[in-house]
Amino acid sequence: MAKSIGRPAAPGEASGAAAGCGRLSRRGFLTAPAAAAAGGLLGGLFAGAACADALTRDQRDKMTPEDILALMKRGNERFRKGDEPKRDYLAEQKASAKGQYPAAVLLSCVDSRAPAEVIMDLGLGDVFNCRVAGNVANEDIFGSMEFACKVAGAKVVLVMGHTACGAVKGAIDDVELGNLTGLLAKIRPAVKATAFEGERSSKNLAFVDAVARKNVELTMALILEKSGVLRDLASKRAIKVAGALYNLESAAVDFFA
């Protein structure tokens, strides 16, 4: 099967023509509506077969950015329902050791409770992941994303913030601490740009989360502003820059679009 962000379909997971691996590498990949629409090729690969252990170039290249985002959404649904099939990491490691064909590059926070691969049921080789407090971007992040998309073929750039983010709270509170001061300065424009009725303090989690969302939006815009390489790919619809906010309480990843 294709990979999925993938492995074998879980009991009760989508059945029917497109059933199979729902993960990116295997299973998510196959069950995506667009993947199903792709028809014969994917169906042939998956029909009656065990899921592949890692995304192949062919599988990745057949997916659109929208397919990939749909698989990530399904992966998060599996995570929060607790119905993820057991993942064979060693099989994924062996399958991906000689090459990688990740479908996306993520920019997410270092928060220990928000590992993108876990909360979206992703496997080895499925995505690149840049992690930095407050999911802020700089030249090194832009360069990593350009490598991921232009050189390695990833089709989605996903900026993912999360609720109750400590870095966002620090930016709101104007915290100063060593090198953290400069990092928080990158979030401060989002604090200023957040329209909010009510108490604008780090004690008000509604405000904190509104700033986190704005921070993702501004970072998405910054990526397209500062990277001509990614802007060009996006204008050709070869990639899609997307945003999301992970809710620590509900375990749901809220995709902006």
Q: At closest approach, how far in Å is the CB of 146 from Zn ion? A: 24
Write the binding mask 17 to 36 for Zn ion: x where contact by CB under 5 A, - elsewhere: --------------------
Q: Which span sits near Zn ion by CB under 5 A: 60-68, 167-175, 181-189, 234-242?
A: 167-175
- Helix %, strand %, coil % of the chain (to 5): 45, 10, 40
- In the region spanning residues 171 to 230, those forming contacts with Zn ion, defined by CB under 5 A, are none
Distances from the Cα of 116 to the Cα of 30, 128, 229, 253, angstroms: 20, 10, 25, 10
Closer residue to Zn ion (CB): 132 or 238: 132
- Contact status, residue 18 vs residue 30, Cβ threshold 8 Å: yes
- Give yes or no for residue 130 binding Zn ion (CB under 5 A): no
- In the region spanning residues 91 to 110, those forming contacts with Zn ion, defined by CB under 5 A, are 109
77, 92, 111, 126: which one binds Zn ion (CB under 5 A): 111
Q: Which structure tokens are listed for 52?
A: 């592949």
Q: At closest approach, how far in Å is the CB of 109 from Zn ion? A: 3
Radius of gyration, alpha carbons of the chain: 18
Q: Are strands 104-108 and 156-162 parallel, antiparallel or unpaired?
A: parallel
Distance of alpha carbon 156 from alpha carbon 236, whole angstroms: 13
165, 183, 184, 222: which one binds Zn ion (CB under 5 A): 165
- Contact status, residue 201 vs residue 194, Cβ threshold 8 Å: no
Closer residue to Zn ion (CB): 165 or 220: 165
Closer residue to Zn ion (CB): 169 or 240: 169
Contacts with Zn ion by CB under 5 A lie at 109, 111, 165, 167
